[in-house]
């Protein structure tokens, strides 16, 4: 049962993490529009290789923290403050994301797979993201740090990431829309608000 739970958490958390427009998904969209879907999927595969590696490193670190609850208590309180600030920022301060997608792709048309690996390696946000996600769900008994469970979560994170990059590539390839129809900051703010509520509930439950 925990294997399935790890898979679902890994898959869904990866999707949520890639939904907001960012360097990786918007690059996949631009490559798809300029060079074709197959090249974009090759780039996405490279990204997923790095994401799986980052997820594994983060989960190993999270397993260590899970065995030291005194550290987790401090991190949860810090995380609550951070996510509350992020929620306020994305709802009220951040600029509208409904902007035109740049037409230029300033990189070589070759070695897109390795370009995806290197570009994803520059994005370090998955590390604290997966540490927080795994520890939070582990506290509820929904996530396991056993060897095979970690492997399942890592594979699921790669699959979820690839799915969202594919959706970005496919959407902009088919619709050829030059402007986002939704201010994605609101979606990010909603996600951080939900995480804040979960964190607050977990902290409150311990008292």
Question: Which pLDDT value is given to residue 174?
Answer: 62
Beta bridge partners, 100, equal: 179
Could you report the average pLDDT of every consecutive run of 10 residues in the chain (207 residues)? 91 87 82 86 94 95 82 71 73 58 49 89 84 85 91 96 91 59 61 72 66
Question: Which pLDDT value is given to residue 151?
Answer: 94
Question: Which pLDDT value is given to residue 154?
Answer: 96
Structural domain of 14: 2-205
Question: Which pLDDT value is given to residue 100?
Answer: 47
Q: How many domains does the chain have?
A: 1
Question: Which pLDDT value is given to residue 90?
Answer: 64
Question: Which pLDDT value is given to residue 105?
Answer: 46
Distance CA(132)–CA(121), nearest Å, equals 19
Question: Which pLDDT value is given to residue 16?
Answer: 85
Question: Which pLDDT value is given to residue 206?
Answer: 62
Q: What is the value of pTM for the model shown?
A: 0.71
């Amino acid at each position: 049962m925990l294997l399935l739970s790890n898979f679902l958490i890994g898959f869904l958390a990866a999707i949520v993490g890639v939904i907001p427009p960012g360097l990786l998904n918007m690059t996949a969209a631009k490559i798809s529009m300029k060079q074709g879907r197959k090249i974009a999927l090759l780039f996405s595969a490279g990204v997923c290789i790095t994401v799986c590696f980052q997820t594994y490193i983060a989960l190993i670190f999270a397993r260590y923290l899970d065995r030291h609850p005194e550290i987790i208590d401090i991190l949860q309180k810090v995380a609550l403050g951070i996510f509350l600030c992020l929620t306020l920022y994305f709802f009220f301060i951040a600029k509208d994301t409904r902007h035109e997608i740049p037409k230029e792709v300033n990189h070589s048309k070759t070695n897109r797979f390795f370009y995806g690996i290197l570009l994803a390696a520059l994005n370090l946000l998955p590390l604290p993201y997966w540490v927080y996600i795994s520890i939070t769900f582990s506290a509820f008994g929904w996530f396991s740090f056993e060897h095979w469970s970690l492997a399942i979560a890592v594979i699921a994170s790669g699959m979820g990431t690839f799915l969202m990059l594919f959706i970005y590539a496919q959407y902009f390839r088919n619709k050829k829309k030059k402007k986002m129809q939704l201010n994605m900051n609101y979606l990010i703010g909603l996600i951080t608000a939900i995480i804040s509520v979960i964190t607050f509930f977990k902290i409150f439950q311990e008292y």
